[in-house]
Amino acid sequence: MSKLKIAIQKSGRLSEKSLELLQECGIKISNGNQKLKTVSSNFPIEILFLRDDDIPQYVEQNVADIGILGENEVWEKNRKVETIRKVGFGNCRLALAIPKDEIYTGISYFNNKKIATSYPKILTKFCQENHLNVEIEEISGSVEIAPGIGLANCIFDIVSTGSTLLMNGLKEVETVANSEAVLIKSHNLSGEKQKILDKLLFRIQSVIYSHENKYILLNAPNEKVKDIISLLPGMKSPTVLPLAENGWSSIHSVIKEDEFWDIIDLLKEMGAQGILVVPIEKMIL
Ligand SMILES: Nc1ncnc2c1ncn2[C@@H]1O[C@H](COP(=O)(O)OP(=O)(O)OP(=O)(O)O)[C@@H](O)[C@H]1O
Ligand SMILES: O=P(O)(O)OC[C@H]1O[C@H](OP(=O)(O)OP(=O)(O)O)[C@H](O)[C@@H]1O
Ligand SMILES: [Mg+2]
C-alpha cells in the first residue's frame, strides 16, 4: 500500500505544533533525533522534516504529497500547489516597520526607501499595487537588525507580538497580510493517496473542532431553561436532564472557545449555577 508523504518544518516556529497535530490525529510517529524522514507505525504516512521555505517546491515536484507551512511562504514561493485548509496555529502578520522616531506620513513614506525583507515577492507585489518605488534588500533572517546597522531604512517582516520590533527600535506602520499555517497538496495525487488524505483531513477537522469548542454543563431553575438554551445551541440541540432536586435541570452543551467568557457572564445573570467547562478530546460532526 502506498504512503502519503507529508513535509513539515524540521525545526522552527511550526515544528512542534505540526507534529502535535499529527499525533492528535492518532498518528504514531517515532522521530529519532536528527532523523529527516520517518514513517508512522499505525497510519500510511511518511513524514519528511524540511526547511519550511523548501516545502512548496517539494510539493510542486511531488517529492512530498502534502505539507504544513505558513501561508506567507506559500505566497512568497508562488509554486503550483493547492492550499487545502488552515490548521489552527502559526498566526502572524506580514508588516512594514520603520525606526520608531520617524514620523510616518502614510504609505508614500516608503517611496525611494530601501526595505530589507525575506519576502521580496510579496513586497514587490504590494509596492506595485500601491505605486511605490522602493529598493528591496533581500536577506534570509534577523531582518529587524537591518535599519540599525545601516543596511536598509526600514523592514518588511513577520510580526506576532511585536516584541522583536520593539527590542530593535522599530514600529509597525502597515499590515500587508495576515498569515497562518496551512496544509497544501500537490496537484498530482493518485486516487489511492487522495483517499489517505481524505482520512487525514477528517481527523484534522475533528481535532480542530475539539480545540475550538468546549463542553459545558450547568444547573438551572426550570423556568430559566428556555432562555439559557437559547444561548447554548449545542451541536444539534442542548441536552436537558432533570436534577434530583425538584424544579431544577442540568443542561449540557457545546460552546465556542472564543465565545466562552461572554456567554458565561450571561448564563450567570440568568441564574445558572455549578457551571463546568471541560475540554473536548475529539469532536465529530
Ligand atoms: N513570531 C511568530 N509567531 C507566529 N508565527 C510565526 C512567527 N514567526 C514566524 N511564524 C510562522 O512560522 C513560520 C516559520 O517560522 P520560522 O521563524 O521558524 O522560519 P524559518 O526561520 O524560515 O525556518 P526554517 O529554518 O525552516 O527555514 C513562518 O513562515 C510563519 O508562517
Ligand atoms: O513579533 P514577535 O512575536 O517578536 O515575532 C516576530 C519574529 O518572529 C520571527 O522570527 P523567529 O523568532 O522565528 O526567528 P528567525 O528570524 O530565526 O526565524 C519573525 O521573523 C520575527 O523576527
Ligand atoms: Mg525558512
* Distance, CA of 274 to CA of 268 (rounded, Å): 10
Q: What average pLDDT does range 103-125 have in this prediction?
A: 97
- Same domain for 50 and 185: yes
Give the cell for residue 19.
507534529
Q: 179 in ligand 1 pocket by Cβ < 6 Å?
A: yes
The percentage of the chain sitting over the pLDDT mark of 90, rounded to a whole number, equals 88
Which ligand minimizes its atom distance to the CA of 68?
1
Q: 45 in ligand 1 pocket by Cβ < 6 Å?
A: no
Q: What average pLDDT does range 241-260 have in this prediction?
A: 92
Confirm whether 166 is domain-assigned: yes
Confirm whether 194 is domain-assigned: no
Positive or negative: CA dihedral 198, 203, 206, 212: negative
159 Cα to the center of ligand 2, angstroms: 7
Q: What average pLDDT does range 59-83 have in this prediction?
A: 98
- Same domain for 83 and 133: no
Q: What average pLDDT does range 48-69 have in this prediction?
A: 97
Q: What average pLDDT does range 126-143 have in this prediction?
A: 97
- Domain count along the chain: 3
Confirm whether 132 is domain-assigned: yes
- Same domain for 82 and 18: yes
20 Cα to the center of ligand 3, angstroms: 20
- CA 123 to chain centroid, in Å, comes to 22
Q: 188 in ligand 2 pocket by Cβ < 6 Å?
A: no
* Distance, CA of 220 to CA of 20 (rounded, Å): 38
What is the band of 234 on the pLDDT scale with cuts at 50, 70, 90? confident
What's the confidence (pLDDT) of residue 237? Answer: 81
Domain that includes residue 240, residue range: 213-279
Whether the Cβ atoms of residue 235 and residue 216 lie closer than 8 Å to each other: no
Confirm whether 245 is domain-assigned: yes
What is the band of 33 on the pLDDT scale with cuts at 50, 70, 90? low
CATH of residue 100's domain is: 3.40.190.10
Confirm whether 197 is domain-assigned: no
What's the confidence (pLDDT) of residue 74? Answer: 98
CATH of residue 256's domain is: 3.30.70.120
Answer whether residue 49 shows pLDDT above 80.
Answer: yes
- Same domain for 185 and 50: yes
Answer whether residue 219 shows pLDDT above 90.
Answer: yes
- Same domain for 96 and 81: no
Domain's final residue, options 189, 221, 254: 189
What's the confidence (pLDDT) of residue 115? Answer: 98
Matching residue, cell 510580526 = 159
Matching residue, cell 545601516 = 150
- Same domain for 236 and 157: no
Compute how many other C-beta atoms are within 10 angstroms of the C-beta atom of residue 270. Answer: 16
- Same domain for 108 and 174: yes
What's the confidence (pLDDT) of residue 233? Answer: 74
- Same domain for 132 and 169: yes
Confirm whether 121 is domain-assigned: yes
Contacts of 110 (CB under 8 A, 6+ apart): 96, 127, 132, 134, 154
- What mean pLDDT value characterizes the chain? 95
What's the confidence (pLDDT) of residue 263? Answer: 87
What is the band of 86 on the pLDDT scale with cuts at 50, 70, 90? very high
Q: What average pLDDT does range 222-251 have in this prediction?
A: 90
Q: 12 in ligand 1 pocket by Cβ < 6 Å?
A: yes
Q: 42 in ligand 2 pocket by Cβ < 6 Å?
A: no
- Same domain for 134 and 62: no
**Using CA positions, which residue lies closest to atom 14 of ligand 1?**
13
- Same domain for 246 and 230: yes
Confirm whether 252 is domain-assigned: yes
- Same domain for 120 and 52: no
Matching residue, cell 448564563 = 267
What's the confidence (pLDDT) of residue 32? Answer: 63
Q: Which is the closest atom of ligand 1 to the Cα of 90? A: 5
Confirm whether 207 is domain-assigned: no
260 vs 222: which has the higher pLDDT: 222
- Same domain for 249 and 174: no
Q: 52 in ligand 1 pocket by Cβ < 6 Å?
A: yes
- CA 218 to chain centroid, in Å, comes to 31
Which stretch of 121-125, 219-223, 265-269 has the lowest confidence by average pLDDT?
Answer: 265-269
Whether the Cβ atoms of residue 240 and residue 65 lie closer than 8 Å to each other: no
Listed residue (6, 7, 4, 93) closest to 51, CA to CA: 7
